[in-house]
Amino acid sequence: MEYAVIKTGGKQYKVVKGSVIEVDKISSEIGKEIVFNDVFLLVSDGRVEIGRPTVKDAKVKAKVLSHIKGDKIRVAKFKAKSKYRRVMGFRQSLSRLQITEMNA
């Protein structure tokens, strides 16, 4: 099995070629290809490469499928004995990516 661990948006994702992932919104047009250079781990053909901090000359390419909004969460503020209550909603902007290529 071939997979990699990449970093985008301050988070790390385990990706496999052909997989579809949702990450924090990337300012790129739909259908464009983007390249991730922050590859922390690369496993291919039974060989494991661990980066210090990143794997040298490793790249992961992905195609932007769509820009979507995540599930709505409710944020509530409350203070006891003062009748103070506020409820707000929030939806995270996300980008859906399909991993097309991984190489070192």
Which one has a higher pLDDT value, 100 or 46?
A: 100
Q: Model confidence at 1, in pLDDT bands (50, 70, 90)? A: low
pTM tops 0.85, yes or no = no
| Each residue's pLDDT tens digit, 13-51 | 999 999 999 999 999 999 999 999 999 999 988 899 999
- Structure tokens that stand for 101 in this block: 């290529």
How far apart CA 10 and CA 30 sit, in angstroms, is: 22
| Each residue's pLDDT tens digit, 59-73 | 999 999 999 999 999
Which pLDDT does position 45 carry in this prediction? 86
Q: Is the pLDDT of residue 57 over 80?
A: yes
Which pLDDT does position 90 carry in this prediction? 97
Q: Which residues contact 10 (CB under 8 A, 6 or more apart)?
A: 24
